[in-house]
Amino acid sequence: MASEAITSADYIKHHLTNWTYGQFPEGHEQAGQWGFAHTAAEAKSMGFMAIHVDTMIWSLITGLVFLFFFSKAAKKATADTPSGFQNFVEMLVEFVQTSVRGSFTAKNDIVAPLALTVFVWIFLMNLMDLVPVDWIPHLSGWIGATFFGMDPHYVYMKIVPSTDPNATIGMAFSVFFLVLFYSFKMKGVGGFMGELTLMPFQSNNKVVQALFIPVNFLLEFVSLIAKPISLALRLFGNMYAGEMIFILIAIMFNAGLVMATLGGFLQLGWAIFHILIITLQAFIFMTLTIVYLDMAHSEH
């Protein structure tokens, strides 16, 4: 999409805008109706209830890729002479099991499969960041212009779901709901509320302890809410920044031969370094998921 027809600012805005489906606001000629946004301004005006279609599509695609290949490896697993892919899957499963054993002290059969799903799915979503930033937008623009008569500048397609806070917050709150569920299940309502109100400040004097309750609750509640927020924003912030750098480097390819050559080296270098970020962010999300669930199972 980087061309002389649009400015660098338009190029950046285009690549950072999601393909959005939502309700048009008041003042729009289609006010009250649902449809796809044709501009970034329309997408923004649709508000909280709008759906980022590209995030949904690529999240499902990467999830299905994970299910397909891992189920295929499980069906063809053999104890005789395992294939290279089976060895890879077994190595990955063993890596996740080691992480769970090291961070999870209780017994829960759902934690290891959850950790494996979280790690691989987030890794695959992050891996989409290594696809050159213009390939899919160009293809989407060509399809929109050829088959639907749309202006390719207003055809949006972000292919990295983890650069969308809606996706990262959704995953983080899914983990948070599991934390709340097991906190109530393992400790009971009284035990969990006791953790929120009777720590960290304690006293043998009941009057003083009663005075500590609102302070303890405020501190513990902030700590509890910080868990999903930290999960979501850490992943989103790192991946969004990485995508932005790729976009800025791509602009250099329209600034002459020298800048294009420099941009090529920068893009290669950043892509190699970004592999570490992609893997690290998936690992951190998985590890914190395990740790938070361990805390939910622990009684203080």
Active site residues: 230, 234, 238
20-23 sheet: strands from edge to edge: 34-36, 20-23, 51-52
**Farthest-apart Cα atoms in the chain, separation:** 77
Give residues with Cβ within 8 angstroms of 147, minimum separation 6: none
Closest by CA position to 99, among listed 122, 113, 115: 115
Between CA 293 and CA 180 the distance in angstroms is 9
Q: Residues 241, 134, 128, CA angle at the centre, nearest 5°? A: 55
Cα 117 from chain centroid?
Answer: 13
**Tokens encoding 196:** 């929120």
**Residue labelled with tokens 């992050």:** 126
